[in-house]
Amino acid sequence: MSDTTQLPAFIAALDRASEWFGRSLAWLIIIMMLIQFAIVLLRYALSVNSIFMQELVMYMHASVFMLAAAYTFRHDGHVRVDIFYRGMTPRRQAVVNIAGIIMLLIPVMVFIIASSLGYVANSWRVMETSPDYGGIPAVFALKTLIPLFAALMIVQGVIEVVRNGYVFTGRISPSVADDSHLEERV
């Protein structure tokens, strides 16, 4: 059983939303691959080039990379140098996770939001478009991914602080917390 049932209702709802959002974004990878295949086919078989399609692949790639980072974090898929971490007890791992989120992740994400808001606001103010003729006229939307990425990471960080707090206090077992990404299948 997923540990989201043992988390506070609001945190559990955020956790489920994060899972759903991450799984939904995975479909963009298939769509992106199909569009890239079409680009190559059009270019080499028919000598047709589409800036719009090329930028569409770039936009989708950026969306997957930026917006699925929180999903990756939720599933512990991020890069970790665990020379000492691996040998720690689950309670100590929970303390390290909480400290890392509070002292590193959240401050860096707040910095990213603070430093990108002016950049993104200026892009929205002028409704920035592609510099290439025929490109996507929504560079402002692409730049919006920066603070959105950081906000999603903060939300996931809060979820992980609560989850690790529950592991530390013994409210959930470490094995349940580790398996939180597994869905019950019928």
pLDDT in tens, 22-34: 999 999 999 999 9
Task: Read off the pLDDT band of 170 (50, 70, 90).
Answer: confident
What span, in angstroms and rounded, lies between the C-alpha atoms of 100 and 51? 42
Contact by Cβ (8 Å): 140, 119: no
Lowest mean pLDDT among 66-70, 106-110, 177-181: 177-181
Q: Please count the other Cβ atoms lying within 10 Å of the Cβ belonging to residue 158.
A: 16
In a domain? residue 186: no
Task: Report pLDDT for 3.
Answer: 52
Task: Report pLDDT for 184.
Answer: 40
In a domain? residue 185: no
What's the predicted TM-score (pTM) here?
A: 0.84
In a domain? residue 10: yes
Task: Report pLDDT for 185.
Answer: 37
Give the chain's domain count: 1
Q: Per-residue pLDDT averaged across 74-103, rounded?
A: 88
In a domain? residue 170: yes
Domain housing 27: 3-178
Q: pLDDT of 75-87, one tens digit each?
A: 988 877 778 888 8
Task: Report pLDDT for 7.
Answer: 83
In a domain? residue 184: no
Select the more confidently predicted residue: 67 or 76: 67
- 62 half-sphere exposure, CB direction, 13 A CA radius: 15
The phi, psi pair for 80, rounded to 5°, reads -140, 130
In a domain? residue 11: yes
